[in-house]
Chain A
Amino acid sequence: MTDGPRLSGTRAGGLRVAPLVHLAWRKAAVDLVVEETADAHTLVLDVAGWPGSVAGQHVDVRLTAPDGYQATRSYSLASGPGEPPALTVQEVPGGEVSPYLVRDIAVGETVELRGPIGGYFVWTGARRPLLLVGGGSGLAPLRAMWRAADPAEPVVVVASVTEPARLLYAVELAERVAAGNVSATVHLSRADVPDDAERLGTPLQALSLRTGRVASTTVTQALTACGGTEADPGVFVCGPTTFVEAMIHLLAGAGLDPRSIRAERFG
């Protein structure tokens, strides 16, 4: 980590405070736009001096209108620790920031960014195996985590989306399932799994699809696949607030200590 400004007056022996250089606003140029779904795009950014990130961290993004009005939002990093920063932005209809980032911004244009930020909803590799539970665009920081995992390391993914077309990273998930270390169960909260699953296309065929919201059986199976509660898996839940609360309830019901769950709610 580079040296940054330090607070004066830190007289306690050996006490260091965290440098804040990473919290200065920096220019981030859009290097690549990946259309994940009809209304969610991943922006791969070029940030000079990017220090790398811990899986699960986020950044703040600031937009400035011609009249000087500024809007700031937090987005999870979907990129692995050693990769350039990437944000998956789900368009919120009527929002101030996300429609611009999904619909309007083009390669070469810039936004302001500060980060990486966060030390709670992060996976440093200490607890394993990984159980990743994501609702909708809550999969974004979980992608950073499965990318941070060793190729041989078991990772259990439980995802919830309204319908198949809304699933982020379907191709990448299918590839990792095929590679053997990742298992993925995808619940379709507002759609039935079609009888003819081939209609869904190649990536989705590789995933275990289930009709309806994430059920206790899915959670119990996922915990078992991680070696059970006594294995002390790294459990991360990210998604809309109601989804996160429901998942914590199910995980606790399956015997997991709720205090061991790391959760991130985005409203």
Chain B
Amino acid sequence: MKTKVLLVGGRSKAKSLATSLIRKGYRVTVVNDTYEDCLELAEIDGLTVINGDGTKPFVLEDANAGDADIAIALTSKDEDNLVICELCKKRFHVKKTVALVLDPKKTDFFYRMGIDSVVCAITAISGIIEQQAFMDKIATLVPIREGRVSVAEVPISGTAPVVGKKLWEINLPKQVIIGCILRGDTPMVPRGDTRILAGDMLVLISSDKQEMAAIKELTGH
């Protein structure tokens, strides 16, 4: 059986998400309160479009919310997204709810209200920009939990100050560990007496923006 996804609100986001999800084989329904947007969305093949305010229970009922496996709230108002997800969860028992949040300070609150996944566009975008800007020092950076934890790949060049040092000799910030060293093709789990060599790729796990300090310590930049 196809996974059923309900998208509520959001014009261009709903459009691109719906197109991509339908292509991947999901059954998608969108709810939008603007008639003109609905006409535009209805041009997408195989998409069910409901015109109405998704924060109203009867509109969600029309959209068959009770059948959905995933509900995603994409409106531009935090309060609407909260109510949409809470209605889907508590009234229609949707298994997974995803909310977009504008205000990064509300991310925690949304999680506490039982929303399964909270996406903050501002946090996500600034994370990507940060990664792009420091590309030369970090190969990849994977933010986890809204970027509170991140996993970064850091290449060690021959000129790095830590080359030849043992791990316990390096003054890393407390909230950072080197989870893995990739030496050639072999991954190794480091211990305190492991020596870092030029050409190593370090996999860094760090919390809360401490990765920059750690990278500076490791690469000297």
Chain B binds chain A: no
**Partner-B contacts on A (CB < 8 A):** none
